Amino acid sequence: MNPDPKSETTADKAMDAWYANSIYFDYNTGKPKAGKETEAYDFLNVINTETTDVGFGVKDGYVLGYFCPKANTDPEALKKNTPREREPPKMPVLPAGTLLKENATCPELDDTGKRPACAEGLCCG
């Protein structure tokens, strides 16, 4: 739940909040801190290197994150698949023969590093 009902609820804010839960994960043991397992697993799903698909739903101040596959909770796997530093994802390579929607444009990042919301006519809309 968005703790500030006056601010917009977004997947970006949820990701930042989930990432902040890294304080509940012990990188040395590969285990969540006792009593903070839920918070630690929120973080681990965000950062896990084996995650291949991500999706979000936003409604009424809540964000639902879908991470697939979910993080393997075995401590040895977590030590291996949980990087200590957050790195932005790498842009995928466009497969040969793939074309963008006709006359579509992909807006450039703005000064904050974000793109405008998807809309009809954009490559994402």
Share of the chain above pLDDT 70, in %: 70
| Structure letter (DSSP) for residue 20 | H
- Could you count the other beta carbons within 10 Å of the beta carbon of residue 118? 11
In contact, 121 and 104? CB cutoff 8 Å: yes
For the segment 15-24, the average pLDDT, to the nearest whole number, is 91
pLDDT at 35: 97
Residue 65, SS3?
Answer: strand
Q: Which distant-in-sequence residues (6+ apart) come within 8 Å of 69 by Cβ?
A: 50, 51, 52
